[in-house]
Structure 1
Amino acid sequence: MAERSTGLPSQRQVIELLDGEFARIGFDIENVVIDAATRPPRITVVTDGDAGLDLDSVAELSRVASELLDELDTAAYVLEVTSPGVERPLTTDKHFRRARGRKVEVTLSDGSTVTGRLGAVRGPTVDLVLREGSRGEFTVREIALDTITNAVVQVEFSPPNPHELELAGQPGKEAAT
């Protein structure tokens, strides 16, 4: 029988403990941050799923995480389950797929920057709906994922153009809040 610790679990221990249950519910663990310097210490689990992370999901994941972490004999801590937030760079095809329909700023390997609405991810490429030309018409540009050096979701304060959403493969979908 393994000796039980009275300290905090490691990042790896938390991921190993929670990963299977989070995946069963439909979520991936993006990161675990353990801050032992705060009082009480804080364990933050950053998670995301294809359907996004709403308050009901946060509550369920928090309950599951708390039950599993309670099996460890650890010091008192505060548990936080959260989404990656919009400031997180999109780095994997899964990130791009989950951000479909959102406005993003993309930096390409040639140093140029474009802002548009993410469309479908198809293999090694992603569609980006851009407003181009003197009349500001929407066009769809296919971009190789390996030419993207940085991509970040942009915060929007007004609803997107319905035609723009349609081109991004999101017909009738309301703007994300």
Structure 2
Amino acid sequence: MADVTRKRILAVLEPVLAEAGYDLEELKVSQAGRRTLVRVLVDRDAGVDLDAIASVSRVLSKALDKSEADDGPFATNSYTLEVSSPGVDRPLTLPRHWRRNVGRLVSVRLSDATVTARIHAADDENVELELSDGTRRVAYGDLGPGRVQLEFSRSASKERQE
């Protein structure tokens, strides 16, 4: 039953998100008492701020409400919608994740070692990493999931204060 509901929700949300220029990163559907809890993670190349989350939330809510009239997934019960963006701790597993993080420092498994490197470039097949001993182009199939490393620098904090 839950899988059927999830598929019906996906059928409503995916086209709306695609039209708005967002990628659906994750959809979780669970019961919370009598209500269905719908958790949606969205992202896009330009990033996602709070205004974007609010806008997407309104659009998705409207689409789900409209689907109710058409015997949609919530025609007979109510739902709670939570929309957010994947956090910085989300693993980089797809080419678009790597592209969106060009310039950032990541920790990633290469061959038999975990390394820290800066993402120099990324395309659909490979990522170019700046390692301590030079730049290396690696196919995604040869990588483990990457993790963005938070960087705190004096110059970045000075820029924010000005």
TM-score (norm 2): 0.79
Q: What does the per-residue CA deviation read over 1:58-81, in whole Å, with 9 as the maximum and x for residues that have no partner?
A: 111100110011122242222111
Q: Which residue of 1 aligns with 2:39?
A: 44
Aligned residues: 149
**Aligned pair in 2 of structure 1 residues 18, 160: CA closer, same or farther (>3 Å)?**
farther
Task: After superposing the two structures, state which structure 1 stretch, 149-158 or 88-97, moved more.
Answer: 149-158
Q: CA RMSD in A?
A: 2.6
Question: Would you say the 8 A contact 1:117–1:128 is kept in 2?
Answer: yes
Q: In structure 2, do the counterparts of structure 1 residues 24 and 116 end up closer, same or farther at CA, with 3 Å as the change threshold? A: same
Which structure has more helix as a fraction of its residues? 2
Tell me how far 1:158 sits from its aligned partner: 2.8
Contact 1:15–1:29 (8 Å) recurs in 2? no
Aligned-pair identity in percent equals: 40
The 2-side partners of 1:80 and 1:59 are apart by 10
In the alignment, what sits opposite 1:158? 153
Pairwise CA distance, 1:130: 2.8
* Cα deviation code 1:74-118 (max 9, x no counterpart): 42222111112222221111111112122110102x221111211
Structure 2: state its 5+ residue gaps.
69-74
TM-score by length of 1: 0.73
3-state DSSP class of the match of 1:10?
Answer: helix
Letter in 2 for 1:105: S
Partner of 1:85: 87
Mark the runs of 5 or more structure 1 residues left unpaired by the alignment.
Answer: 1-6, 133-138, 162-173
